[in-house]
Structure formats: structure tokens, C-alpha cells
């Protein structure tokens, strides 16, 4: 398969903001001090172990790895020294055996700078690799450690096999706290000339749940609305009515609702709500209002987990919603 | 002659010919494409809510009439294990539309290749057109995990000249990292009021008179599915000509009546003979290619109103349990029958309890 070339965009056109404002240097990577300190150390000549980055989406794992490589290698040798593989590439066991081990065994012309005498393999989304492929990696990582460093990136470290994990220095990428996110969002707002009030920024941030990429994405889709100065459209986008209103309604109605009423609510909501997130929101709302007594919290938590699993497995939303609400209701009656 | 559904499909996002419900969202979509920087989009919502219509409008908004000149192409892919795959695509000069889950577990190969293929060529005259092309992937929720992971980095890498629009029914089955790369556009089903307005408008334009009572029936039976409502309205018109009787009853689908009768049978008596009879009937429905989860839902829908309030919760729990098994398992009949028996048990115990 021929690798498609990444075509540099004509200036000032359609780049998505998530790419445009991707951290270009290590200094730009927000809020991950340990990793950044370690990587900076490596830039100045300290040892560089194999690395394993893990953490929730949108916290800067890929960005940190790429930024590090870009700072380490001058542009002319970059292509030569860095192999980036992600889940979009074929990554079965054969690729590990051929492509990766071929790359890591290849000799490179030695340079004065000791730092440049090492190649880097970035394996993005390792948790999507098969077990077999992961096992095949074990030996490759050790055999080639003289000339090659691996940076593995994944969301869930538990999905990697233990021998791989133990070969790397682990770094957890933390969810970004509110201030850091707001800060970053404000910088983007300013440089894009799309003024957004502090409250609105907060809403954008809250809906993205610590995921900076999602926040930036939301911001970008908000930009044209702001440019046109359409207050109404902006508000309807920032405060999507359906979900939160239905949740409120359920919270107020459910404790005293009759069974047919529950049917009616479910019928109405199942077609307009967003599935698992909705379920979670209802549960959170009940917890917040302290409506569930302590004995029942465990039961309900278990139920939420069960319903979520079912929905994720592809079951019908309506049935599970009904099950959830009816059981929730029965805890009020007793 | 085009069906009403197609004839009166909105042609634009906003304006005279625009979509008629979720207006604020339509406005926002229009804003999104007005700039040169459309993000990746993820449309989700129940069927008959207008996801595809909105996507079509969006493409027309982006590329003008050129997006309508589509052709059917059969594309070939080869998996690493040398299996040949064929997939139907609809494409214009600017976009390509396909349903990767058509090829089952090999969908990963398709999404990997198609995005790269689209991204390899860029518009020659980037001044005159949008600098990017669009890949529309339908039924994204039935993409395998592998395929979804495959999309992650490609979406970012080739974002400059290839944007992706995903279209799915349930957002829950899309992995988190993909959601975080897209703007999620939730398209809720139209309310009964919306449907009523649209039907009346279409009837008006077709110059068909339809009595109030019949329209009400159609709205009720459509279950907030606009496509279904319009098809029903047209069917009614076809059956009756221009004079529609006041007390004409819009027919339900035959299988629905059949399941309703089955439910009545279950309620009439709980015994092993009845179970045998029910099994026969369920086989009958299954052999007519009615999806098992729909049978399940309908059965539950007809059974529940007849139950006392105390046992409803228990029955629903059982239903959810067996439906989950049905999704995981292979043969539908076992699970439906197991549910029927479980239901009978609960029902019988309750009704034979001394009051």
C-alpha cells in the first residue's frame, strides 16, 4: 500500500484548529510537567528509555511524542529517523516482524551529536494492536535498544500485555484541569479573533470533560457562528436544550410517577437523547440531589454499569432506559 | 414518478426549501460550512429523523449542484490475507459515500484505504473550490472497533484535504477518541407536531384532501419516523384515491398484528402447549426476516400494558437481560422463547397469588 503524502495546506485555508494549534514544541504541551521535564532532559543528553504514554483522549500524548521528535532531529534527517505507525496502518504480526524490525535494525550514519545516533519508533494506539503482534514486539524492543527507542501511546494501559509495559518507562497523561484548558482556549480565541465571554468558555470546557481536543473542536465550530454575530444560534449551540431539560423533568417526576407515566417518558426520550451519556447524566443528577438513599446507591451504580454494557453491546436503548428508570423508581417506593 | 418522500425532501439547509424542524441546528450547520474550515462531523439520531437529508444539504451547500451528479461505483479492495472485497459506493467529483459495514469484519481495510485514496489527490484549482473532499461513512455504529481505531489518526493526518462525515443511529457505539475528533450533531426525531405540519404541507402541495382523523392515525402510527409517516400517507392516498373516508383505518404492517395476536395468546393462558404454539408463531415471523430485536420490542410493547404495576419492573429487567443475550448470541429463537417463558412465570405467579 502506498502511503499517501501529507500535503501541506495552502496557507490560511482549511486546516482544522485541532491541527493548527497542536503543540509544536515541548514547551507548548500543557500541564504534563513530568513528561516534559523528562523529554527535555533527553534533549540535553540524558538517557532516554523506551516510553509508554497513556491517558484519556485529548491530553497531548501524540502531540508530546511528535513535538519531541521534531525538536530532537533537524528536518533533513527526520524522515530517516522516525517511524510513525498508527492503527490506520496495517499492524498485524507480519508488520512487526518486517517493517518495525527492519527499521530498527537499519544502520544510520553516525553523527557527531550522540543524540542523533538513535532512531525513534512511535507506535500510536497500541491498545488496538493484537496480542500476537504485541508479543512479537517484545523481542524487537530489546534486541534493538542500542539503536532504537520506542514511544508507545495508548489510552488504556491495561490492554497491553505485561511484558511490554515492563520494558518501558510509564507516563500517565493527566486530564487537563479547568484553568489550563480555559487558558489555552482563550489564547486560541484571541489569535483567531473570535471573542468569547468567560462563561461561554467555561461551558465549552465543561462539555468537553477534560478533553482539550474536543474543546478546540467545539470552539472551531462555534467560530463561524460568532463571526455572524448570531446570539440565538450561539446560545442554542452552547445550551443544547433537549438533554438537560429531560433529565430535570425525570428527576422531578420519577419519584411519584405511575408506571404508564414512566412508559410515556421513555417513549419520548429514547428517540431524542444520546444514549449512554444520557443514562449517566440522569444518575448523576439523582446523586447530586441526594435523592437516592445510601443503601440504594450501590444497587443503582451496578445497574448503570449493567445498562451501559448492554447498550454498548448493541442492545435496544428503549428497553434499557425503561429497565433503569423502573428499577430506580422502585427504590423510591420502598 | 417520485415518491413523496423524495419529492419533498428539503433541498437546502436553510431558507425557503430548507429543513423544517431543528431549525437552530440547521442554521448552525450552515454557519459551519460557510467558513472554509468545516470540521469532521458525526451525525447521530434515530431513523427517519433526517440525518441523510441534512448531509445531502450540507454537501450541496459546500459544492453546489456538482454534489448531485453522482454515480454508482463498485470498488475493489484486497485484504492482507488476499481476500477480495467488493463494495458499492456513491460518488461525485467532490465526495464519496459508502457503508463500510457491508463487508462485515473486513471494514477496517476499506476505511483505511478509502480515506488515503481520497486524500492522495487534491483539487487542482483550490481557489475555485473547497480545498477538501468529503467521505461519508454510513452506519458508523456498526463499524468494528478495529475500523474505528483505524480512522483515528488518519482523520487527523489527512484532515487538510479530506473531511469525514460519520452517520450513525447510536452514539454510544462510537469509541470516545473518534467522538473527540468530530463535532457531534444530534438529530432528534421530529415531534408529532413537526410531523403533522409536514404532512399537512405535503398534502396541500399535492392537492389531496385527507380527513383529520386519518392524519392523526398516521402521526400516531409513524412513531416519530418522518419517512414512515410520509410513506403511509402516500399509501393511504393510493388505496383510496382522492376521496378518503373519515373512518378509514390506516393498516398496521401485517407482522405487527401477528405479533399482537401472539402477545394475546401468551396472556390468555400460561402453559406448555401455549409455549409450543408461540414458538411456532415466532418461527413464522423470524422466517419472514423481521429482525429479532424488533420482535422483542413489539412483544414487550403489547405485553406490558396488560400487566399489573408491581411486576412491570421485573418483566422489563428480564426483557433487557434476554435481549442482551440475544445480541451476544447466535440463534434468536432461544432467547425470545426464554423471555416468553420467564414472562409467563412472573405473570402466573402474580395472578395466582391470593389477593
Per-residue confidence (pLDDT) for residue A272, from 0 to 100: 66
The CATH 3.40.50.300 portion of chain A extends over: 17-172
- Do B205 and B270 sit in the same domain of this protein? no
Q: For B264-268, B277-281, B309-313, which range has the lowest pLDDT when averaged over its residues?
A: B309-313
Specify whether B77 is located in the same domain as B127. Answer: yes
Domain assignment present for residue B107? The answer is: yes
Interatomic CA distance for residues B22 and A272, integer angstroms = 12
Measured between beta carbons, the chain A residues lying within 8 angstroms of B171 are: 274-277
CATH code for the structural domain at A241-333:
1.20.272.10
Same domain, B30 and B97: yes
Which residues of chain A are within 8 Å of residue B121 when distances are taken between CB atoms?
Answer: none
Cell of B207: 392537492
Residues B58 and B161 in one domain: yes
User: Is the predicted pLDDT of residue A13 greater than 60, yes or no?
Assistant: no
Same domain membership, residue B148 and residue B212: no
Residue ranges matching CATH 1.20.272.10 in chain A: 241-333
Does residue B272 belong to the interface with chain A, where contact is any CB pair within 8 Å?
no
Lowest mean pLDDT among A87-96, A277-286, A292-301, B62-71: A87-96
Is there a domain that residue B245 lies in?
no
Residue B246 domain-assigned?
A: no
Put simply, the chain B residues between 199 and 258 with a CB less than 8 A from any chain A CB are 224
* Domain-located, residue B96: yes
Q: What is the CATH number of the domain that holds B36?
A: 3.40.50.300
* Residues sharing a CB contact under 8 Å with residue A225, sequence separation 6 or more, in sequence order: A233, A234, A237, B28, B31
Q: Does the domain spanning A178-238 belong to CATH 1.20.1640?
A: no
Nearest chain A residue to B322, by CA: A315
Q: Is residue B78 part of a domain?
A: yes
Residue intervals of chain A classified under CATH 1.10.8 are 178-238
Domain that holds residue B332: 254-352
If asked whether residues B182 and B280 sit together in one domain, one would say: no
B-chain residues near A239 (CB < 8 A): none
Mean pLDDT of B111-137: 77
Report if residue B118 sits inside a domain: yes
* B250-275 per-position pLDDT tens digit: 777 888 889 999 999 998 888 889 99
Whether chain A has a CB inside 8 Å of the CB on B304: the answer is yes
pLDDT at B70 over 90: no
Assigned superfamily of A17-172: P-loop containing nucleotide triphosphate hydrolases (3.40.50.300)
Same domain, B331 and B268: yes
Is B291 an interface residue toward A (CB < 8 Å)? Answer: no
- For residue B122, tell me if it sits in a domain: yes
- Give the integer Cα–Cα distance in Å for A173 and A329: 39
pLDDT digits (tens, 9 = 90+) for A168-185: 999 999 888 888 888 888
DSSP secondary structure of B96-127: EEE-GGGGGGGHHHHHHHHHHHHHHS--S-TT
Least confident residue range of A56-70, A171-185, B3-17: B3-17
The predicted-structure confidence for B165-222, as pLDDT tens digits, reads as follows 999 887 878 888 888 888 888 888 888 888 888 888 888 888 888 888 888 888 888 8
Q: Check if B186 contacts A (Cβ < 8 Å).
A: yes
To the nearest whole Å, the CA of B345 is away from the closest chain A CA by 19
Average pLDDT in the B124-132 region?
67
Regarding whether B231 and B207 lie in a shared domain, the answer is: yes
B298 touching A (Cβ < 8 Å)? no
Q: What is the pLDDT of residue A200?
A: 79
Give the predicted TM-score (pTM) of the model: 0.80
Contact criterion met (CB < 8 Å) for A88 and B182: no
Establish if B248 belongs to a structural domain: no
A76 Cα distance to chain centroid: 31
B296 touches A at CB < 8 Å? yes
Number of domains in chain B: 3
| Distances, alpha carbon A192 to alpha carbons A30, A187, A220, B37, in Å | 19, 9, 10, 13
pLDDT of residue A1: 39
Distance CA B111, CA B166 (A): 12
Task: Provide the pLDDT for residue B136.
Answer: 92
> Taking CA A97 as the corner, what is the angle to CA A92 and CA A99, rounded to the nearest 5 degrees?
85
Q: Is the pLDDT of residue B235 over 80?
A: yes
B135 and B211: one domain?
Answer: no
Identify whether residues B88 and B209 lie together within a single domain: no
Query: Is residue A60's pLDDT more than 60?
Result: yes
Mean pLDDT of chain B: 84
How high is the pLDDT of residue A209? 75
**Is the separation of the CB atoms in A247 and A281 below 8 Å?**
yes
Q: What is the pLDDT of residue A300?
A: 81
**B205 shares its domain with B292:** no
Q: Is B324 helix (H, G, I), strand (E, B) or coil?
A: helix
Question: What pLDDT score was predicted for residue A153?
Answer: 92
B24 has a pLDDT exceeding 90 = no
Give me the CATH number covering residue B261.
1.20.272.10
A328 lies within 8 A of chain B by CB: no
> Do B218 and B334 reside in the same domain of the chain?
no
Which of B42, B139, B170, B332 should one mutate to test binding to chain A, selecting the residue with the greatest count of A CBs within 10 A? B170
Q: For residue B118, what pLDDT is reported?
A: 82
Q: B15-18: which pairs have CB atoms within 8 A and are 24 or more residues apart?
A: B18/B57
What confidence tens digit (pLDDT) does each residue in A200-258 have? 788 888 777 778 888 888 888 777 777 776 666 666 666 665 567 777 888 888 777 78
Amino acid at each position: 500500500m502506498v502511503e499517501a503524502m501529507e500535503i501541506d495546506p495552502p496557507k490560511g485555508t482549511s486546516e482544522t484548529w485541532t491541527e493548527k494549534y497542536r503543540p509544536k514544541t515541548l514547551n507548548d504541551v500543557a500541564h504534563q510537567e513530568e513528561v516534559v521535564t523528562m523529554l527535555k532532559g533527553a534533549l540535553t543528553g540524558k538517557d532516554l528509555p523506551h516510553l509508554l504514554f497513556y491517558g484519556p483522549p485529548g491530553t497531548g500524548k501524540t502531540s508530546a511524542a511528535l513535538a519531541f521528535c521534531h525538536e530532537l532531529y533537524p528536518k533533513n534527517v527526520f524522515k530517516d529517523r522516525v517511524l510513525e505507525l498508527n492503527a490506520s496502518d496495517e499492524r498485524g504480526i507480519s508488520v512487526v516482524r518486517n517493517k518495525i524490525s527492519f527499521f530498527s535494525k537499519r544502520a544510520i550514519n553516525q553523527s557527531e551529536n550522540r543524540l542523533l545516533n538513535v532512531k525513534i519508533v512511535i507506535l500510536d494506539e497500541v491498545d488496538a494492536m493484537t496480542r500476537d503482534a504485541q508479543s512479537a514486539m517484545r523481542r524487537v524492543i530489546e534486541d534493538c535498544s542500542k539503536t532504537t527507542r520506542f514511544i508507545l501511546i495508548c489510552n488504556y494501559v491495561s490492554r497491553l500485555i505485561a511484558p511490554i509495559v515492563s520494558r518501558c518507562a510509564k507516563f500517565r497523561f493527566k486530564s487537563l484541569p479547568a484553568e489550563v484548558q480555559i487558558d489555552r482556549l482563550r489564547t486560541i480565541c484571541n489569535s483567531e479573533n473570535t471573542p468569547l465571554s468567560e462563561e461561554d468558555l467555561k461551558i465549552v470546557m465543561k462539555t468537553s470533560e477534560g478533553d482539550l481536543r474536543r474543546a478546540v473542536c467545539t470552539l472551531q465550530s462555534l467560530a463561524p457562528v460568532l463571526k455572524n454575530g448570531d446570539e440565538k444560534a450561539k446560545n442554542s449551540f452552547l445550551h443544547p436544550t433537549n438533554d438537560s431539560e429531560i433529565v430535570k423533568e425525570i428527576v422531578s417526576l420519577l419519584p411519584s410517577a405511575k408506571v404508564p407515566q414512566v412508559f410515556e417518558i421513555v417513549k419520548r426520550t429514547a428517540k431524542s437523547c444520546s444514549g449512554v451519556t444520557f443514562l449517566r447524566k440522569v444518575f448523576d443528577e439523582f446523586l447530586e440531589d441526594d435523592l437516592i438513599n445510601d443503601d440504594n446507591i450501590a444497587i443503582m451504580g451496578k445497574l448503570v454499569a449493567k445498562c451501559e454494557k448492554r447498550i454498548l453491546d448493541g442492545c435496544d436503548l428503549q428497553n434499557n432506559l425503561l429497565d433503569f428508570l423502573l428499577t430506580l423508581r422502585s427504590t423510591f417506593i420502598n | 414518478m417520485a415518491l413523496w418522500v423524495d419529492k419533498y425532501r428539503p433541498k437546502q439547509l436553510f431558507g425557503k426549501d430548507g429543513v423544517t424542524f431543528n431549525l437552530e441546528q440547521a442554521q448552525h450547520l450552515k454557519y459551519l460550512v460557510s467558513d472554509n474550515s468545516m470540521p469532521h462531523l458525526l451525525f447521530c439520531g434515530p431513523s427517519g429523523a433526517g440525518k441523510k437529508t441534512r448531509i445531502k444539504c450540507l454537501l450541496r451547500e459546500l459544492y453546489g449542484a456538482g454534489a448531485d451528479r453522482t454515480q454508482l461505483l463498485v470498488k475493489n479492495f484486497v485484504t492482507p490475507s488476499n481476500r477480495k472485497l467488493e463494495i458499492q459506493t456513491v460518488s461525485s467529483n467532490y465526495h464519496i459515500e459508502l457503508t463500510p459495514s457491508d463487508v462485515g469484519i473486513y471494514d477496517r481495510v476499506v476505511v483505511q484505504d478509502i480515506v488515503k485514496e481520497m486524500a492522495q489527490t487534491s483539487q487542482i484549482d483550490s481557489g475555485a473550490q473547497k480545498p477538501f473532499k468529503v467521505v461519508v461513512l454510513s452506519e458508523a455504529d456498526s463499524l468494528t472497533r478495529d475500523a474505528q481505531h483505524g480512522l483515528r489518526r488518519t482523520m487527523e493526518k489527512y484532515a487538510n484535504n479530506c473531511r469525514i462525515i460519520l452517520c450513525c443511529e447510536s452514539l454510544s457505539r462510537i469509541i470516545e477518541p473518534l467522538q473527540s475528533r468530530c463535532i457531534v450533531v444530534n438529530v432528534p426525531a421530529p415531534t408529532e407536531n413537526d410531523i403533522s405540519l409536514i404532512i399537512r404541507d405535503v398534502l396541500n402541495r399535492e392537492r389531496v384532501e385527507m380527513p383529520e382523523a386519518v392524519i392523526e392515525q398516521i402521526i400516531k402510527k409513524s412513531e416519530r419516523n418522518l419517512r414512515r409517516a410520509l410513506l403511509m400517507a402516500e399509501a393511504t392516498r393510493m388505496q383510496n384515491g382522492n376521496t378518503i373516508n373519515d373512518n378509514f383505518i390506516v393498516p398496521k404492517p401485517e407482522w405487527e398484528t401477528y405479533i399482537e395476536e401472539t402477545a394475546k395468546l401468551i396472556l390468555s393462558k400460561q402453559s406448555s402447549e401455549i409455549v409450543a404454539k408461540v414458538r411456532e408463531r415466532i418461527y413464522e415471523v423470524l422466517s419472514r426476516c423481521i429482525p429479532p430485536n424488533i420482535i422483542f420490542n413489539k412483544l414487550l410493547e403489547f405485553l406490558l400494558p396488560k400487566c399489573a404495576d408491581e411486576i412491570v419492573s421485573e418483566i422489563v429487567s428480564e426483557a433487557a437481560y434476554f435481549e442482551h443475550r440475544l445480541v451476544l448470541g447466535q440463534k434468536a429463537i432461544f432467547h425470545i422463547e426464554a423471555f416468553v417463558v420467564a414472562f409467563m412465570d412472573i405473570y402466573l405467579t402474580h395472578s395466582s397469588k391470593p389477593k
